[in-house]
Amino acid sequence: MTWSKMKQSLDSFLCPALYGRVEYCATSYRYLSDKVGRCHIKVDKKNIFNMNDTSTLIRWYQTEHEIKNDPNIQISINSEEIEAVRKGTKGTVPEDRLKVIARDRKISEYAKEMLYLQSVLSKSNFNIVANRFLAISIEESLESNDILLNILALVDRRVGKKRLLKMAEKMKLKHPIVQYFYELRLSTFDMGN
């Protein structure tokens, strides 16, 4: 699909309140017909998301340590995870330490997954992911671990306020760029949409 047709399709799925605010942009190279160079997403004329640029307004993590020490990341643990630690330590660890150990294990897994998804995203092709978004259901895009699919789904007109509000807890565990677009979309409901 040509970039102009893809952009037109993506624009047609934007929620009305974001039309004109969210822009899908691409640079193309001369002499390479129909080949897109770099793609990025602008919000209110500011480059918010560029798959090949870590200098945008959203934080991109470089190390697992950065993620573990980010105060904005809230990881909740459940009794099953604490019980798994208790069994693993054979009951020799005090109760309050079990929670700390369980949280550290969970945030370590989360950090590794987030870094992996960032690296996959930087190597991926916007066109391929956008074509996939246009071919699959909105539910698949929302449930996917692909950051770009999540973003495209969050600004989609087919996602309503009720569904967005139900996703609040899941969004806490998503990449900051996904959280940004989630908050952007929630703000459209304050404006009457």
For the question of whether the overall pTM of this predicted structure is more than 0.75, the answer is: no
Residue 126 domain flag: no
| Same domain? 72 vs 104 | yes
- Asked whether residue 124 is assigned to any structural domain, the reply reads no
Longest dimension (CA), the chain: 68
Domain endpoint, select from 117, 139, 156: 117
* Phi-psi label, residue 26: left if phi above 0, alpha if psi -120 to 50, beta otherwise: beta
Cα separation of 62 and 60, whole Å? 7
As a whole number, mean pLDDT of residues 72-99 equals 84
More confident residue, 146 or 14: 14
Is residue 7 one of the residues assigned to a domain? yes
Q: What is the tally of structural domains in the chain? A: 2
Is the pLDDT at 138 greater than 70? The verdict is yes
Which of 32-46, 146-160, 164-178 is least confident? 32-46
Residue 58 lies in a domain: no
Residue 98 lies in a domain: yes
Are 140 and 181 within one domain? yes
Q: Is residue 122 part of a domain?
A: no
Residue 121 pLDDT more than 70?
Answer: no
pLDDT confidence of residue 21: 94
Q: Which domain holds residue 159?
A: 3-51+131-190
Indicate if 159 and 183 belong to the same structural domain.
yes
Both 45 and 139 in one domain: the answer is: yes
Sheet of 46-50: strand order equals: 22-28, 36-43, 46-50
- Is 50 exceeded by the pLDDT of residue 64? yes
CA 140 to chain centre: 14
Identify the residue with better confidence: 87 or 118: 87
Region 72-78 average pLDDT: 77
Contact 39, 127 (CB under 8 A): yes
Q: Which of 36-40, 80-84, 137-141 has the lowest mean pLDDT?
A: 36-40
Tell me the CA end-to-end span of the chain in Å, nearest whole number. 31
Amino acid at 125: N
